[in-house]
Amino acid sequence: MDRIVIKKIEENITFESPPVLVCGLPGIGNVARLAVDYIVEKLKMSKIYDIYSTHLPAQVFVNSNGTAFLPKNSVYMKNISKKKSMIIFTGDFQGNTPEGQYEIGETILNIARENGVKTVYTLGGYGIGKLVENPRILGAVTNLKIRKKLESAGVIFSENEPGGGIIGSAGVIMGLAGEFYGMDAACIMGETSGYFTDPKAALAIIRTLSTLVGFRINLKEMEERSKNIEQLTEKMQGEMQERSQKDDLGYFV
Amino acid sequence: MDRIVIKKIEENITFESPPVLVCGLPGIGNVARLAVDYIVEKLKMSKIYDIYSTHLPAQVFVNSNGTAFLPKNSVYMKNISKKKSMIIFTGDFQGNTPEGQYEIGETILNIARENGVKTVYTLGGYGIGKLVENPRILGAVTNLKIRKKLESAGVIFSENEPGGGIIGSAGVIMGLAGEFYGMDAACIMGETSGYFTDPKAALAIIRTLSTLVGFRINLKEMEERSKNIEQLTEKMQGEMQERSQKDDLGYFV
Amino acid sequence: MDRIVIKKIEENITFESPPVLVCGLPGIGNVARLAVDYIVEKLKMSKIYDIYSTHLPAQVFVNSNGTAFLPKNSVYMKNISKKKSMIIFTGDFQGNTPEGQYEIGETILNIARENGVKTVYTLGGYGIGKLVENPRILGAVTNLKIRKKLESAGVIFSENEPGGGIIGSAGVIMGLAGEFYGMDAACIMGETSGYFTDPKAALAIIRTLSTLVGFRINLKEMEERSKNIEQLTEKMQGEMQERSQKDDLGYFV
Amino acid sequence: MDRIVIKKIEENITFESPPVLVCGLPGIGNVARLAVDYIVEKLKMSKIYDIYSTHLPAQVFVNSNGTAFLPKNSVYMKNISKKKSMIIFTGDFQGNTPEGQYEIGETILNIARENGVKTVYTLGGYGIGKLVENPRILGAVTNLKIRKKLESAGVIFSENEPGGGIIGSAGVIMGLAGEFYGMDAACIMGETSGYFTDPKAALAIIRTLSTLVGFRINLKEMEERSKNIEQLTEKMQGEMQERSQKDDLGYFV
C-alpha cells in the first residue's frame, strides 16, 4: 500500500465557483471535528474522496450494527450558491507522526489546488484549562489581508494567544497553504476548557464560519447540545464554589 | 533487505476451490494464535510461505535444542475437501508499528487474492478484564451479508461491543480486505479476561470457525487445556470469594 | 512533500571569497541560537535559503500580529570583506529524529560545498549543571590543524570535556563535514548552567567567533543582556549562600 | 545521505582462505565489544571498512585530544595463517531501531558473502542479574552441525537458556546469516551479571573463540582486567554476606 491512498467517491464533481477549503480534524475539545461534522450533515454535503493512510492508526472502528471500517480522512463538497462553493476536510484521526501530518496536509492541499481553492480555514480548539462561559474565537493567519476579513467576522487577534503556536494538522495545513500553495489561510480557534467534547465552542466556530464563507445553516441542534453543556458547566461551577466556600469556613483543611 | 521478504516454502500448490483466509496473530489472551496453531497442527496443514520483515522485532527465538530462528509470519494451506480450501496466516508477532501492520496486512491479502480468496476471517481475543465462565464469540463484519453467515454460526453481535474498535492486525486486515480487495471479511473475537493465555476462548473460536469454514477437527487436547484453565479459574474465584468474605467479617480492613 | 524542501530566498548571491559556515541551532541554554541570531541581526546578513522539512515538528508559530509560519531552518550570508565571507545556518528546531538530524546536516553541508566552504564552526552550549561565573569556551575538532587555530583564539581543550561527546546537530554537522566533505570543522561550546537561556555564554561564543572568522560586531546589547543574567545569577548565589549558612547554624535540618 | 554508507579503508584485501565472520557490538555487560576490541588490537587486524548510518545516534564522540568523530561500525580482517582468515565486525552502537538493526546486519553479511564467509559467530553477554564466579559460555546456533563444533569447544547448550531469545544485532545477524545467506551461524554468549562492563565474561568468550577460529592470542592483559573485576566481585560479595549476617543477628530489621 502506498502511504496515502485516495479513493474517489463521486466521479463528476463541478464546482460552480472556486471553493474555500475548511479543515476540521479531531483535536482539543474535539471542537473542529464537531463543527465540520455538523456542517457536512446540515448542508448535506457530498463526499468526494476518502483518504486512507499508513500514517493513521492500525485498527478498525465498529458501527452499532457490527460493520467495521478503517480509519480515514474524507473530503466533502457543496455548491452553496452560484458564487460560493466549499470543500470540507475531516477525518477520524490526525496523522500518527509529524511526517504523517505533513504528508496528509499536502494531500488535501493538492486536491484543493486542483479544484481552484484560494482560501483555507483550518479549525481548532484553544484549550485554556478552565471552564469558559462565552468562548472567544481566536485567529491566526498567513497574511494580513485575511486577518482583516476574519476581524470583520468577529475573530479576535490576541497578542500572546495562542502562545506556543498551533500544534498539529490545523497548524501544518495552514502553514503549508500559505508557504507552498499561495493560498490565503487562517486558523480559527474556539476557546474551550479542553476537559471534554465542547459543542459550545463548536457552535461559536460554526457561526463565525457561516459569516466568513457565507452559508446558512440550522443551528438548533448544536444550540441544544451547547445548552446542555452550559448547564453542566454551571452545575460544576456551582459545586466547586460551594466546596471552596466550605473550605473558607474552615470545615476542611 | 526489503521491508518485507516472502520466502516460498512449497512450490506446487493447487487449491481445489477458492480458499477462505483465516488470520490469527498474537494478541489479547493469545486467543487467535492458540486457535490457529491448533488448527494448523490437527489438520496437518502445509506451510507455503514464510514472511520476514524489518517491521518485526530484531531478535531470534531459541529452540530447546539451541537452534535459533528469526521471528516471522507464516502462511499454511489445506484442501479440506473438493469444495473447501483454507489458508491460515499466523506468526510470531504483529508488525512493530501501524505502518508495519498495514504493510504486512497487504502482503497476506495479496497472497490471498492471487489464490482466489473471497472470504476472510480474522481472529482475536475480546478482553473484558474479569474471569469469563462461558466465553461468547463476538463478531464484526465488513458487510451485512457476512454478518448473517456469522450469526447462523452462533456469533453474537452486540451493539456496543467491541466499544473502542478492533486495534491491530485483526482490525487492519479485515478493514483492508473489505475496503480494497472486495472480499467479505469478518473478525471473530473470543471473550477472555485478557489476564493469561486463554485456551477456553481459543476453543470457542475453533468451534465457531469449524462451522463457518466447514472442517472437522479433533478438539480433545484443546478441551483438556481449556478444562485446566477452568479449574484454575474456579480455584482463583473461590479464593477471591473467601478472602472477600473474611473481609466482611472484619478480620481485615 | 519531499522530506526536505529548500526554498531560495535571494537569487543572485556572490561570495567574494570562500565563506566559512557557522551553525547555530536551538539546544542547551539556547546558547548557539542566541549567538547566531545576534550576529545575523547586527551584521545585517542576507537570508538566502529557507529549509522546510517533515523532520521538523508539525506546527506553526504565531507572531504577535497573528501571522503564522511553519518551523524552518534558514541560511544567511554576508561578505564581511573582500577576503572574508560567512554563511550562517540557524533555525527553529533541530530534526525530530537522528535520521532527520543527519539529513538536515547533509542539506546544509551540500549548500556549503556548492559555495566553496572549507571551514565549519558549529556552536553549542556545554551544560555543567551549576551557575557559571566566567564561561569558558570549549572546543572539539575534526583535525589538529584547526585545533591550533581555535587555541590561538582562546578556545580551551580539556581532556575529559565534553565527556559524553556532542549530541545532536552540532555534533552531526561537524562530524559529517570532516568525514564526508573534507572540511575543517570544529564545535565551539559555551559553558552554561543549562538552567535557562544564557546570553552570557552566547556573548563568549560571539567574541570567540569574531576572532576566528574575523568580523567586527557591536556587542553592547548582548553585553547588557549578559549583565542582567549576571545580576540574576549573583542574587541567586547570594540567596543560596545565605540559606546554607542558616543551615550551618542549625536553624534548619 | 544514504541510510547506510560504506567507506573503504584499505583497497587491496586478499583473503588467503574463506574467512569466518565474528560480530561483537556493544550490549549486555559490554562483553561482545570488549572481546572483539581486544582481539583486533592483539592480532593487529587491518581495518577494511567503516560503516556510517542514519540508523546510528546523531552525535560525535570526542577523543582526549579534542578530535571528534561520528559513531560508526567497522570491519577488520586478518589472515591468521594460510588456511585461516577472520573478519571482525564491531562498532560504537547497534542500530537505533529494529529496522536499522536488520539493515546494518544485511550490510555486514553482504560484505561477508562477497569475501566467501561460510561461518558466522556473533558474540553477546548473557545477563543473569547476579554475580558470576565462573562464567559459562552459552550457545545458540542456526543448525545442529555447528552446534557440535561449539560443544567440542566447551560451549554449553542449556535447554531453557537464553529463555527469551537473543535480542538485538547478535540475534538478527545470526538469524539472517542462517536464513538468507546459507551460512552456518552461532551466537556465543558469556555469562555476566549485566551490572557492569565485564572483562571476565569477555575473557571466557575470547578463549572459546580462539579454539573455534584457531588463533593464538596473548591473554595477559585481559586476564589482569578480569582479576581486578574478580577481586571487586569478591569484596562486594563479602560485604553483602557480612551485612546479611548482621541482619540474621537481629541488629537490623
Q: Does the distance separating the beta carbons of B55 and D174 come in below 8 Å?
A: no
**Which strands form C59-62's sheet, in the order they lie side by side?**
A166-167, C59-62, C68-69
Query: In degrees rounded to 5, what are phi and psi of residue B22?
Result: -120, 125
Give the model confidence (pLDDT) of A154-174 as tens digits: 999 998 888 889 999 999 999
Share of chain C above pLDDT 90, in %: 83
Q: How confident is the model at residue B211 (pLDDT cuts 50, 70, 90)?
A: very high
Check residue D47 and give its pLDDT: 98
| Distance of alpha carbon A181 from the chain centroid | 20
Type and span of the H or E element at B149: helix B144-152
- Average pLDDT for B160-178: 94
| Nearest CA among D191, D68, D55, D51 for reference residue D108 | D51
Residue type, B246: K
Q: How confident is the model at residue B252 (pLDDT cuts 50, 70, 90)?
A: very low
Asked if residues B181 and A1 have their Cβ atoms less than 8 Å apart, the reply is no
The answer to whether the peptide bond before residue B162 is cis (omega within 30 degrees of 0) is yes
Q: CA A205, CA A189: separation in Å to the nearest integer?
A: 7
Task: Kindly identify which residue of chain C lies nearest to residue D70, measuring between CA atoms.
Answer: C175
Q: CA B50, CA B44: separation in Å to the nearest integer?
A: 17
> Residues D96, D101, D104, CA angle at the centre, nearest 5°?
110
Which of B51, B60, B72, B97 is the mutation pick for testing D, counting most D CBs within 10 A?
B60
**CA dihedral of residues A169, A175, A176, A178 (deg, nearest 10):** 140
Other CB atoms within 10 Å distance of the CB of residue D43: 17
Q: How confident is the model at residue B246 (pLDDT cuts 50, 70, 90)?
A: low
Cα dist from A26 to A23, A88, A128, C37, D233, whole Å: 10, 14, 17, 36, 57
- Contacting C with CB below 8 Å, chain A residues are 95, 98-99, 101-103, 105-106, 139-144, 147, 157, 159-160, 162, 165-169, 171-172, 174-176, 178-180, 187
User: Residue D22 forms beta bridges with which residues?
Assistant: D88, D121
Give the three cell numbers for residue C133: 561565573
Give the three cell numbers for residue A230: 452550559
The Cα of C65 is separated from the nearest Cα of chain A by a number of Å equal to 6
- Average pLDDT for B216-241: 88
Q: How confident is the model at residue B9 (pLDDT cuts 50, 70, 90)?
A: very high
Residue type, B231: Q
| Nearest CA among D86, D100, D109, D94 for reference residue D185 | D109
Q: How confident is the model at residue D246 (pLDDT cuts 50, 70, 90)?
A: low
Query: What ipTM, to 2 d.p.?
Result: 0.91
Cβ contacts of C160 on chain D, cutoff 8 Å: 64
Check residue D239 and give its pLDDT: 81
Give the three cell numbers for residue B220: 480433545
Q: Does the distance separating the beta carbons of B172 and A58 come in below 8 Å?
A: yes
* Regions in chain A scoring below 50 on pLDDT: 250-253
B218: Cβ–Cβ under 8 A, 6 or more apart, which residues? B42
Cβ contacts of C157 on chain D, cutoff 8 Å: 65-66
The Cα of C104 is separated from the nearest Cα of chain A by a number of Å equal to 14
Residue scoring higher pLDDT (B237 or D78): D78
Q: How confident is the model at residue C251 (pLDDT cuts 50, 70, 90)?
A: very low
The Cα of A58 is separated from the nearest Cα of chain B by a number of Å equal to 5
Facing D175 at nearest CB: one of B54, B60, B65: B60
Facing C58 at nearest CB: one of A101, A162, A178: A101
Other CB atoms within 10 Å distance of the CB of residue B165: 18
Residue ranges of domains in chain B, CATH in brackets: 4-248 (3.40.50.10900)
Give the three cell numbers for residue B142: 465488513
Other CB atoms within 10 Å distance of the CB of residue D237: 13
Q: Does the distance separating the beta carbons of C66 and A187 come in below 8 Å?
A: no
Asked if residues C156 and C135 have their Cβ atoms less than 8 Å apart, the reply is no
Q: How confident is the model at residue B249 (pLDDT cuts 50, 70, 90)?
A: low
Check residue C247 and give its pLDDT: 58
Decide if pLDDT at B152 tops 50: yes
Facing C166 at nearest CB: one of D55, D68, D96: D68
Type and span of the H or E element at C156: none
Asked if residues A50 and A148 have their Cβ atoms less than 8 Å apart, the reply is no
- Average pLDDT for C226-246: 80
Decide if pLDDT at D94 tops 60: yes
Give the SS3 label for residue A106.
helix
Share of chain D above pLDDT 70, in %: 96
Quickly list DSSP for D213-238. II-----HHHHHHHHHHHHHHHHHHH
Give the three cell numbers for residue D38: 581486544
Q: Does the distance separating the beta carbons of C165 and D60 come in below 8 Å?
A: yes
Q: Does the distance separating the beta carbons of C56 and A165 come in below 8 Å?
A: no
The string over B25-63, giving b where at least 16 C-beta atoms fall within 10 Å of a residue's C-beta and e elsewhere, is bbbbbbbbbbbbebbbebbebeebbbbbbbbbbbbbbbe
Q: CA A65, CA A63: separation in Å to the nearest integer?
A: 5
* Percent of residues in chain D assigned helix, strand, coil, to nearest 5: 40, 25, 35
Give the SS3 label for residue D148.
helix
